[in-house]
Structure 1
Amino acid sequence: MRRPLLLLALLLLPFTSQAGPDVLRVGASNELMSTLEPLVDQYQIETRNKVLLIGGDESELTEQVRQGTPYDLLLTPLHSTEQTQLLRCNARAMQKLTLVKGERRALATDFIDYLGKHCTDR
């Protein structure tokens, strides 16, 4: 009896670490993590919305998106002033790419609005 339960628990283990439907999955370049981490913490406390902030190298994140990693939002440093989706935070310019539609897009938009209102350089 213990073996089937242990086997079932082991099979379900990978699913417990994935973000649920009420968690905003944000990919952010390592360069922006120190700016975003305290804002994400504050956002989660104030709104009770959950954010899974996933850091990585910018090219690595881009490749993950190409391969279908389910990010809802991607934040990377702005290297060119010609980008249209711009967010300034703590004297840093970021480009944002919203990757979802429907209710999750609204959650991503709320998060971006929150960042815009609560950055210290405004």
Structure 2
Amino acid sequence: MSWSAPPDPRVFHGYSDAPSHSILVTVGWCLSGGFVLLGFLGLFMMGAPSDPCAPDGVGCGPEPTTFGAVGVGFLVAAVVAAGWSLFWQARDRRYRFQPPPNWPAVELGWRPPRGWTPPAAFPQAPEGWKFWQ
């Protein structure tokens, strides 16, 4: 006689983990950090002494103000990337767990821990129930 495993409660109840945009948040913070480093490097290059060069001289490098402008551009990009991450973090927090009407009530703001599944004793959720709203 063989025993089959009980059905996965997530499949049985239609439960799925909370919507998450962790990849988008992480990418935004990584880009922000990189842009900050490049931005400060550009600003520090603006203050570095350079060899005097005649205007429109041949063989001269970019003007120090060019480095400063590029540095400011990178710092602006860092702020935009940080805003991107904050936007997606706020979007993740706005979802609320809504238990089905035939389940016990939960505290306001309760979120199931990662990997949580409802106990098998809970009745099945109504057809098409949205757990996250």
Larger Rg: 2
- Asked if TM exceeds 0.5, the reply is no
Comparing both structures, which one devotes a greater share of its residues to strand?
1
TM-score of the superposed pair, with normalisation by structure 1 = 0.21
TM-score of the superposed pair, with normalisation by structure 2 = 0.20
